[in-house]
Amino acid sequence: MKEVLKTEVAVPLPIDTTLTYLVPEEFKDTIQVGMRVTIPVRRKVVTGMVWRLYRDAGKQRGLKAIRQIADDSPVLNKELMELAAWISEYYVAPIGEVTAIMSPPRPELKRVYRLKACPGDLEIEIMRTTHPTRAEIIELLREGKPLGMDTIKRKVGSKSVAEHLEALEKEGQVVHEVVARKRRKPRQHVPEGGVAAGRDASNERFELTPHQQAAFDGIRSAIDAKQSRNFLLLGVTGSGKTEVYLRCIDQALKSGRKAIYLVPEIALTPQIMERVRERFGERSALLHSGLSNAQRFATWRMIMAGDIDVVVGARSAVFAPFKDLGVIVVDEEHDTSYKQQDSPRYNARDVAMVRAKRAGAVVILGSATPALESYHNALSGKYGLFELPERISGGDLPEVRVVDMRLCEDPAPISEEAERAIADSIERQEQVLLFLNRRGFSNYVQCRDCGLVPRCKNCHVTLTYHLGGKQLKCHYCGYAERGWEQCPGCGGTHVEYVGSGTQKIEDYIAEKFPGTSCARFDRDATRKKGSAEDLLTDFSSGLVRFLVGTQMVAKGHDFRRVGLVVVVSADVSMNLPDFRSGERTFQILTQVAGRAGRGDIPGRVMIQTFNPDHHSLSHVANHDFKGFYGEEVGFREELRYPPFAGLVRVVVEARREAAAKGAAKQFAGLAMHHSKNLKGNLDIIGPSRAPISRIRNVYRWHLLLKGERTPSLSQFAKTCLSKLRMKALDEGARFAIDVDPQVMM
């Protein structure tokens, strides 16, 4: 049997294998591994990634052929393809879903037309009398350059061009092919005043502190030696971690290597990009999901062409297609935003370390409140550790006061003590930051006559009241209904708005302190493209006096005029059913407290809580990460949680709760039966209802697997799932395996 060219294609579907297709003769000279192709899958046409090409004389009957090649060159290089294989294996994710999320948006495709056989002048003259439009099309295409439909329409000036082209194709005079639309270079933000034409050689304009110098010298030696090493840079807020990052990036660039600078939120990229552009010029670029598809694709191509040296971005920028990486910076490395919550459920921080190891690059993990696992690895010698214990301005860390809300008789969201502090800050011409990690106006609405509380029709949660539009909204599925004027249950009009969200705090400040400008920084207020950047610019420049926000305001912003931070409620994160709730509380409160006193103004922080004796609060008040770590890590070791065990969460979802419950119990039983095959002890916690037991009318049960080594634990979960999958799917249940989970809800 004759050998033919075949390809294995990674398809973005929940399947564990690649699919095999024939490569038509017309694509044999152009198709390459790492390109995307369109292929038929059952009754649909989808886009997949060419995973492997090979010649084979085996079975051909029944094999389908690829339809089109979507790229003119590979979008994933060999290194990224190998990284995709690791992600698929470690995080138990379909390889097609992994390659899809690693790839840039597909370029827009268009049809271009060219002559198949060039007619003579006499033929065209005859055509003019019968089909003048076709004659014009032929003359256009005689120039030899393939033209798109829009170009032909514009030059010919006829509305019936499509019909004539179709007729010319049937006659065999014209043929078409599908190509990618050409894109201009992406326009990206440039700071006012412009940037240098190339890298700024004047890095020594900032004199490093002794601690900064020690950190830079230690990391630089690894960069120069091209050693793959991970470093934890533990620095208090305002200690100058960014300057160390930039020096290390510069060192990599001097040796002809490239750099990736990751931040946890897209909103942080403009201020970081400004500093990167000032230092390294135009050979730096943004890469994140907030850019248009055209911008992302064009930036991707510029990186592959070698025209970019430094990429700044959020989670997905870890896949920037550099061939010669020298350093990856993971700023605020503790942040849960680095963990993807949908398949593939990768953590960009951990992927960065795997990628750097393969590339011989250095990873710098920076934080004032590192993850317990990261600090544990640093203490054990797995990571290099450098500390920046002082602010570079020489100023003190902000004074932190915990306010016991149990002693407040007034039910107002802001205590009298905090109000006095706000009034004092206004007198001093300072800015005030108010932090509450809860959107909307009120947590929920309740009828005081019958006690009815409105709940989402699709999810097992109460509806949050939003002032804009006077709506009750679900923050999980988007369901909304009109706010109550009277109870739909008993008809009563005694409707109470319970709890506070950022909208209520914004209103409260406007009422209590009239004449002062106040803005809100949360997901609802920053939906419009560019609005987050505009809002932060207004606050940084002093145009806005008060900023009310969720966790978005706590991450890495350098506000020089903030003298006071008020944490409206520290209890939001501390009461979550999650073994990391204490750690999350310490991290977010320390981070938001660090926004105060970063300039010449002394900083003050007031933390309001109904649980002032919580162990994390005393450590926040004393800016004592090591003390918190010592206490928290004791709990983790006693209960055998990370970093003392690997952890995999298995979530089971189904339209019927009985199906979800039954499948979860089957999985747990199978895991227990096969636990002897897993090296080390296996603990199974659950199964039980997930804390949010229904989302979008899908019921959710979950269980936790704890073992000694995460890689073997994830493969054990995969094996159990493969044994159950067919039966579970028959019952309508779906499984999601979350390796190293960061959220337990």
Q: Which two tokens stand for residue 542?
A: 């002093």
pLDDT-derived band at 195, boundaries 50, 70, 90 = very low
Predicted confidence at residue 728, as pLDDT, reads: 56
Spatial distance between the Cα atoms of 252 and 486, rounded to a whole number of angstroms: 65
How many angstroms separate the CA atoms of 203 and 200, rounded?
A: 7
Mean per-residue pLDDT, 474-497: 90
Confidence class for position 354, pLDDT limits 50, 70, 90: very high
Mean pLDDT for the stretch of residues 284-307: 90
Residue 148 near residue 112 (C-beta atoms within 8 A): yes
The answer on pLDDT for 454 being more than 80 is yes
Who wins on pLDDT, 602 or 61? Answer: 602
CATH 1.10.10 domain extents, the chain? 109-180
Comparing 325 with 144, the larger pLDDT belongs to 325
* Phi, psi for residue 178 in degrees, rounded to 5: -100, 125
Mean pLDDT of 194-201: 37
**Cβ–Cβ under 8 Å, residues 247 and 240:** no
Cβ atoms of residues 589 and 437 within 8 Å: no
On the CB side of 425, CA atoms within 13 Å amount to 29
pLDDT of 37: 94
Q: Under CATH, which number does the domain 109-180 receive? A: 1.10.10
Q: Tokens 């938001």 map to which residue?
A: 592
Q: What tens digit of pLDDT does each residue of 683-693 get?
A: 999 999 999 99
CATH entry 2.40.110.10 includes domain 399-441+500-636: no
**pLDDT higher than threshold 90 for residue 246:** yes
pTM, entire model:
0.87
pLDDT digits (tens, 9 = 90+) for 589-637: 999 999 898 878 889 999 999 999 999 999 999 999 999 999 999 999 9
Mean pLDDT, to the nearest integer, of 510-522? 91
* SS3 label, residue 415: coil
* Helices assigned H by DSSP within 269-334: 269-280, 293-304
Candidates 47, 82, 14, 25; CA nearest to 344 is 14
The second-level CATH assignment, the architecture, of 4-102 is 3-Layer(aba) Sandwich (3.40)
One-letter identity of residue 406:
R
Q: For residue 482, what are the CA distances in angstroms to 206, 465, 466, 503?
A: 56, 9, 10, 17
Which pLDDT score, from 0 to 100, does residue 116 have? 74
Helices (H), 367-427: 372-379, 416-427
Q: What is the mean pLDDT of residues 457-470?
A: 91
The whole-angstrom distance between residue 366's C-alpha and the CA centroid of its chain comes to 18
| pLDDT score recorded for residue 199 | 41
Residue 142 gets which letter from DSSP? T
Q: Which segment, 271-280, 288-297, 343-352, 405-414, is predicted with the most confidence on average? A: 343-352
pLDDT above 90 as % of the chain: 63
C-alpha–C-alpha distance, residues 717 and 145, integer Å? 56
Euclidean distance between CA atoms 326 and 227, whole angstroms: 9
Tokens matching residue 662? 């039954």
pLDDT at 463: 94
Return all residues near 613 (Cβ < 8 A) that are at least 6 apart.
none
Predicted confidence band of residue 702 (pLDDT cuts 50, 70, 90): very high
Residue 262 phi, psi dihedral angles, 5° rounding: -100, 140
Cα 451 to Cα 550: distance, rounded to the nearest angstrom: 29
CA distances in angstroms from 159 to 1, 125, 155, 175, listed in the order given: 51, 22, 11, 20
CA–CA separation, 256 and 278 (whole Å) = 19
Question: Where residue 202 falls among pLDDT bands split at 50, 70, 90?
Answer: very low
Mean pLDDT, range 167-184, rounded to an integer: 72
For the cut 50, the answer to whether the pLDDT of residue 193 exceeds it is no
Number of other CB atoms surrounding residue 121 within 10 Å:
9
CA distance 247 to 310: 13
Report yes or no: 503 and 473 within 8 Å, Cβ to Cβ.
Answer: no
SS3 per-residue string spanning 539-606: HHCCCCCEEEECHHHHCCCCCCCEEEEEECCCHHHHCCCCCCHHHHHHHHHHHHHCCCCCCCCCCEEE
Residue ranges matching CATH 3.40.1440.60 in the chain = 4-102
- Strand-pair partners of 576: none
Distance, in Å, from the CA atom of 565 to the CA atom of 593, rounded to the nearest integer, reads: 6
Tokens of 732: 């309508």
- Scan for tokens 């690997």, then name that residue: 646
Identity of residue 498: V
Burial of 202 (0-12, 13-18, 19+ CB in 10 A): exposed
Average pLDDT of 355-371? 97
247 vs 541 pLDDT, higher one: 247
Nearest to 380 by CA among 214, 487, 230, 261: 230
Q: What are the angstrom distances between the C-alpha of 504 and each of 408, 475, 584, 656?
A: 19, 17, 24, 37
Locate CATH 3.40.50.300 in the chain. Answer: 203-388, 399-441+500-636
Rounded CA separation 10/18 (Å): 5
Burial class of 48 by CB neighbour count within 10 A (0 to 12, 13 to 18, 19+): buried
Domain at 646-739, CATH from 3.30.70.360, 3.30.410.40, 1.10.4030.10, 3.30.70.100: 3.30.70.360
Q: How far is CA 474 from CA 128, 259, 488, in A?
A: 65, 40, 18
Pairing of strands 44-56, 4-10: antiparallel
Indicate whether 187 pLDDT > 60.
no
What does the block give as tokens for 119? 């007619």
Compute the average pLDDT of residues 148-165: 82
Considering the chain, what is the average pLDDT of its residues? 89
- Furthest CA-CA distance within the chain: 99
**175 vs 287: which has the higher pLDDT:** 287
β-strands 562-567, 604-609 pairing: parallel
| pLDDT (mean) for 320-337 | 96
Query: What is the pLDDT confidence band of residue 658, given thresholds at 50, 70 and 90?
Result: very high
Q: Is the pLDDT of residue 107 over 70?
A: no
The CATH architecture to which 203-388 belongs is 3-Layer(aba) Sandwich (3.40)
Peptide bond into 643 cis (omega under 30): yes
Quote the CA–CA distance of 386 and 313 in Å, as a whole number: 24
- Closest residue by Cα to residue 623 from 238, 203, 272: 238
- Strand ordering across the sheet containing 174-180: 147-148, 109-115, 174-180
Distance CA 443, CA 473 (A): 10
> Crossing angle for the helix pair 161-170 and 132-141, nearest 10 degrees?
70
Mean pLDDT for the stretch of residues 505-528: 90
